[in-house]
Amino acid sequence: MSCKKTEWLKFNASDQEEIAFPLATIEGAKPGPTVTITAGIHGAEYPGIVSAIRLFKELTPETVAGKIQIVTISSLKAFESRSVFVCPVDGKNLNRVFPGDKDGSYTQVLAYHLFNDVILKGNYYLDLHGGDMVEALVPYAMYHKSGNDKIDQKSLEIAKYYGLKYITSSQPDSKTKSGGTYANASEHGIPGALVEVGGIGQLDEESVNLHMKGLYNVLRYLGCLEGEPVIPADQTFYDESVWVYTSKKGIFHTKVSVGDEVSKSQCVGTIEDYFGNQIEESLSPINGKVMVLTTSPAVKDNGQLMKVAGKPRKI
């Protein structure tokens, strides 16, 4: 039966703390695939959250084929406390603990239910992200190479149809993969992509519009909505992407801007101690483009400074 509904899924963590997340569903009037959309896996990535809510408000069952299930804010405690990267209840990064553990800590139980009760019930998956409160970025999509060619090809197509200019990938052995939503989804047979738009704690209409354009285009491509999906022109795929870390905590002075092209061994930033002495020089490990940049000068031991994508090719 076609309908639009909102509900709260509620569970208890092992410490008995209640976990809840908002799920909005559109059951279409016509048959079609089930598409899952999650936003707010990181609670301060606002354009994705607001786009997910806007999509639900705009769609009607009459125009939808299949089912679209949207978790509008996955990490509610992080959203409500304006927490950066981690869930404040147990200090874990939700995007590092998938597929979760039903007997684990708060974030692990949350991941378990998001994964088993929502993501695995769909046929396709989109995870809406952006730079967190302390990150600026160039909008890009990421898909996971699970090793299953059919799934991976579909994931790449979904990433392409989101329409952003840049695409990167992750692999089972890469550091960035471990515990990620979209990576685990694709390894469980659900093609999908993670998309990064917006950042530094801003809710800007330009980023929301990019998400909305991408969401509608992918839903057309997957057959949930009428209309021809647009095949994006002039996209660049990066075969390599590397995080630059500081080994020491301190005050980070960047020497680059997000989107800059850098060369291998170029000095991209320095770290000073709290008396102004330079204690580290950060060098780019590859030739490439600065996709994500930490905008806060306060960095931890082994803290992320920037993500550089290299080996570009047109697709």
Number of residues that bind Zn ion (CB under 5 A): 3
Is the separation of the CB atoms in 243 and 168 below 8 Å?
A: no
Site mask for Zn ion (CB under 5 A), range 36-75, x = bound: ------x--x------------------------------
Q: How far is the CB of 233 from Zn ion (least distance, A)?
A: 27
Q: Which is nearer to Zn ion, 55 or 292 (by Cβ)?
A: 292
d(CA 142, CA 174): 13
Q: Which is nearer to Zn ion, 34 or 169 (by Cβ)?
A: 169
Q: Using CB under 5 A, which of the segments 127-135, 150-158, 205-213, 282-290 binds Zn ion?
A: 127-135
DSSP 80-129: HTT-SSS-TTT---GGGSTT--TTS-HHHHHHHHIIIIIGGGSSEEEEEE
Q: Which DSSP symbol is given to 44?
A: T
Q: Which of 67, 92, 129, 154 binds Zn ion (CB under 5 A)?
A: 129
User: By CB under 5 A, is residue 211 in contact with Zn ion?
Assistant: no
The angle formed by the CA atoms of residues 91, 96 and 99, to the nearest 5 degrees, is 115
Q: Using CB under 5 A, which of the segments 121-129, 145-153, 181-189, 241-249 binds Zn ion?
A: 121-129
Q: How far is the CB of 45 from Zn ion (least distance, A)?
A: 5
d(CA 46, CA 177): 23
d(CA 191, CA 286): 29
- Nearest Cα neighbor of 74 from 94, 89, 101, 90 is 94
Is the separation of the CB atoms in 245 and 232 below 8 Å?
A: no
Q: How far is the CB of 211 from Zn ion (least distance, A)?
A: 13
Q: How far is the CB of 42 from Zn ion (least distance, A)?
A: 4
Work out the end-to-end distance of the chain between its first and last CA atoms, rounded to an integer number of angstroms. Answer: 41
Q: Which is nearer to Zn ion, 47 or 122 (by Cβ)?
A: 47
Q: Which is nearer to Zn ion, 134 or 271 (by Cβ)?
A: 134
Q: How far is the CB of 48 from Zn ion (least distance, A)?
A: 8
Q: How far is the CB of 41 from Zn ion (least distance, A)?
A: 6
Residue 11's DSSP bridge partners are 19
Q: Which is nearer to Zn ion, 77 or 129 (by Cβ)?
A: 129
Q: Which residues of this chain interact with Zn ion, rule CB under 5 A?
A: 42, 45, 129
